[in-house]
Amino acid sequence: MVEVKLHDIGEGMHEGEVIHFFVKTGDSVKIDQPLVEVQTDKVTAELPSPAAGTIKDIKVKEGDVVTVGSVILTIEAVSTSTAPSSKTEDKVNVEEPVVDKIVKAPSSTTFAGGIATLNKRVLAAPFTRKIARENGVDIEQITGTGAGGRVTDQDVYNFIENGSAPKAEEKIKSEAPKEVNTAPSFTTKNAEEIPFKGRRKQIAKKMVQSLTTIPHVTHFEEIDVTAVMDLKKQLKAMDPDNKRGMNVSVAAFFVKAIQIALKDFPIFNAKLDEENEVIRLEKNVNIGIATDSDEGLIVPVISHVEQRNVRDIAVDMKDKITRAKTNKLKGSDMTGGTFTISNVGPLGSIAATPIINHPEVALMAFHKTKKTPVVVGNEIVIRSMMNVSMSFDHRVADGATAVMFTNRVKELIENPYFMTLELI
């Protein structure tokens, strides 16, 4: 008997929510055939079958939150030659979404929801399948326009808009089992309740861990971003169609400025190992970008910033923020961070005391930019001013060092041409 368990993929992951089963008890499965979709606090991924055989027993139901090491289902392997060793069984995990493969299953095999017969497995990402299920669409009926015939999110939306999907009223009356909502709400007599589990619960645990472990201190500063905004406009005017990739975000300059400042103040690009009583200064600068999404706060990481120019940073940042908001990040996109930034200015924030992304040492938040009169020399001029918040671990660094670090970031942003002197 082969047990399929939820495996610990690290980075603080302790549990996951079962979103959807692709099989039911008695179904025949092949090796690598997707069995169940699970959402952790970081990714939504499919668990593949480690062996060919028959689904013997499903231990949990859709909507359940299971802890690492819990058995989700068991498979009666076809033979000992096809069943994996116990070592393999323990390594079934959800580290990355499995690339779907076209497989032929027995004609009697159907989706757990009873929507359609599973004669083939179309190419589609887990999030795309989630969109289809929530709209009552049989994804097997959609012709994919992506690479290799992959069904894209837009393919599903086009299918719905063309009237091929059932209407909401018909879905409610359908006899098929209802799809489990990953973030359902229900009403009691006195209040509306939202389940506190999944990614929201993991975020809460990490915030409590950070705030109760790290003695936070927050330093505030204001930065004149007029010059860097003017530089952005000049670059865009020189390349209006962005054919040369010169239309970069101001945030990309912020990331580069922090990387250069971290080279001068490596204590903030570090992690405290209390058990071994050492502070480890990280060699690489991997900057996390705190991103708001429908699933909660996600922090994709821009790796090796010290080896990248502003244009490369801008491209990678845009890609990862987009994928974060659509729940398409891989586990590897969110690991290895050494410093985090939060660009909350576009939302209208004036100031905040950010919570550090444990086990990192510091976090810097960029707030709203506002044109305001300031004194330059002996004259009053209008400048674009922005507030920043610098939270740091007072066990590792002192206030004076934090102020000097922030001043270095300020100097680089206010004089963006200084950055060219620091390029590799």
Residue 36 has pLDDT above 80, yes or no: yes
pLDDT on residue 192: 87
- Over range 235-254, report the average pLDDT: 92
Mean pLDDT (the chain, rounded): 81
pLDDT of residue 19: 81
158 and 31 together in one domain: no
Instruction: Report the SS3 class of residue 314.
Output: helix
303 lies in some domain:
yes
pLDDT of 94 higher than 60: no
Give the pLDDT confidence score for residue 140 in this predicted structure: 83
Instruction: Examine the pLDDT at 40 and tell me if it is beyond 80.
Output: no
Judge whether 125 and 43 are in contact, CB under 8 Å.
Answer: no
- My answer on whether 142 and 279 are in the same domain is no
Q: What is the pLDDT of residue 13?
A: 62
pLDDT at 424: 56
Residue 188, domain member (yes or no): no
Residues 177 and 237 in one domain: no
Q: Counting every residue, how long is the chain?
A: 424
The predicted structure's pLDDT at residue 159? 85
Query: What's the CATH number where 178 sits?
Result: 4.10.320.10
**Rounded to an integer, what distance in angstroms lies between the CA atom of residue 198 and that of residue 331?**
16
Mean pLDDT of 132-151: 80
What is the model's pLDDT at position 163?
63
Please state the pTM of the whole predicted model. Answer: 0.61
Residue 108 and residue 78 share a domain: yes
> pLDDT at position 82, please?
44
Domains: count for the chain: 3
What CATH number is given to the structural domain containing 364?
3.30.559.10
* Domain span including residue 97: 1-121
pLDDT at 114 over 80: no
Query: How confident is the model at residue 184, as a pLDDT?
Result: 52
In the listed set 103, 121, 139, which residue is the last one of a domain according to the structure? Answer: 121
Give a yes or no: residue 199 inside a domain: no
Residue 194 located in a structural domain: no
Same domain (yes/no): 278, 387: yes
CB 15 within 8 A of CB 65: yes
> How far is residue 57's CA from residue 88's CA, in Å, rounded to a whole number?
19
Is 259 inside any structural domain?
Answer: yes
The domain boundary, picked from 72, 91, 121, lies at 121
DSSP string of 20-58?
A: EES--TT-EE-TT-EEEEEE-SS-EEEEEPSSSEEEEEE
Find the range with the poorest average confidence among 173-187, 213-227, 395-409.
Answer: 173-187
> Do 272 and 414 fall into the same domain?
yes
**For the residues 143-159, what does the mean pLDDT come to?**
79
For range 292-308, the mean pLDDT: 90
Lowest mean pLDDT among 23-27, 157-161, 181-185, 273-277: 181-185
In sequence order, what are the residues at sequence separation of 6 or more whose Cβ sits closer than 8 angstroms to the Cβ of residue 310?
A: 248, 252, 253, 256, 419
Is 63 within 8 Å of 87 (Cβ atoms)? no
Does residue 390 share a domain with residue 242?
yes
Residues 310, 287: contact at Cβ < 8 Å? no
Residue type, 423: L
**CA 189 to centroid of chain Cα atoms:** 35
Q: Is residue 417 pLDDT above 70, yes or no?
A: yes
Residue 182 contacts residue 39 (beta carbons within 8 Å): yes
| Domain closes at, from 139, 162, 182 | 182
Q: What is the CATH number of the domain that holds 45?
A: 2.40.50.100
Residue positions annotated with a catalytic role: 394
pLDDT of 380 above 80: yes
pLDDT at 194 (0 to 100) = 80
Asked if residue 318 has pLDDT above 80, the reply is: yes
pLDDT of amino acid 164: 58
Indicate whether 82 belongs to any domain.
yes
Same domain, 228 and 346: yes
pLDDT tier at 147, thresholds 50, 70, 90: low
Residue 74: band (very low, low, confident or very high) from pLDDT cuts 50, 70, 90 = very high
Residues 407, 319 share a domain: yes
Domain assignment present for 67: yes
Look at the alpha carbons of 57, 106, 150, 112 in this order and tell me if their dihedral is positive or negative: negative
Is there a single domain that holds both residue 110 and residue 222? no
Residue 106 has a pLDDT of: 40
Q: Tens digit of pLDDT for each residue in 49-69?
A: 888 999 999 999 888 888 888
User: Residue 172 pLDDT > 50, yes or no?
Assistant: no
Whether residue 201 is contained in a domain is answered as no
**For residue 103, what pLDDT is reported?**
39
Least confident range of 35-44, 131-140, 359-368, 398-407: 35-44
Q: Could you tell me if 224 and 346 lie in one domain?
A: yes
**Domain identity same for 252 and 283:** yes
